[in-house]
Amino acid sequence: MVNDPRLPRLVRLLEAYVPDPGQETAHAAMLQLASGGGDVFSADRVDPGHFTASGYVLAPDRRRLVLVHHARLGVWVQPGGHVDPGDAGVVAAAEREIREETGLADLTLLDSALFDLDVHPIPARPTVPAHRHYDLRFLFLATGEALQVSPESLAVRWVALTELDAIGADPSLRRAAAKLAPLMETS
């Protein structure tokens, strides 16, 4: 879909994002993918990969973060996934994925700008070759705390930032914790 109206908005989001130290290569790769043509949102695009969207969701008390234990990858991560053709954009995709993976119904987007980004490898499966996810991450606040496990996850739970190492959270999530900490209540 060359004329995908979501693409110019994606490029603007990426151009406005100031990468954290160490994220410069991932940021540049995302800008290159976004400007390279083709359907960069399609899960079928595996060379080099495609954009995905996820969200860091703070609990109403701002003391915890919701995480899912991803069934295929075997690691604790923030909820997120593929951008579907019906999604109005990457923020809408992140919000839809959060709802599907956690059961959280009421979410407030805390900032329309990108909060974080990451490019990470996805291992091959019998019908899909290894590829990369170019993950765009946004910040949300939940108004409720009731969680529901999706078929894609082994578990879903609220986690304090101090628990990330103990549960074996994804390295990019542990890196993002430095940006999350000032936004969360710690006392």
pLDDT digits (tens, 9 = 90+) for 64-98: 999 999 888 888 999 999 999 999 999 999 999 99
| 3 state SS of 174 | helix
The domain spans of the chain are: 6-183
pLDDT tens digits, one per residue of 104-140:
999 999 999 999 999 999 999 899 999 999 999 999 9
pTM for the complete prediction? 0.94
Instruction: Determine the straight-line distance between the first and last CA of the chain, rounded to whole angstroms.
Output: 48
Single-letter residue type at 53: A
CATH top class, domain 6-183: alpha beta
Q: Element (H or E) spanning 30, and its range?
A: helix 24-35
Cα 178 to chain center, whole Å?
16
Q: Tell me what the pLDDT averaged over the chain comes to.
A: 93
Structure tokens at 181: 């900490």
Which phi and psi (to 5°) does residue 131 adopt? -160, -170
Q: How far apart are CA 156 and CA 78, in angstroms?
A: 10
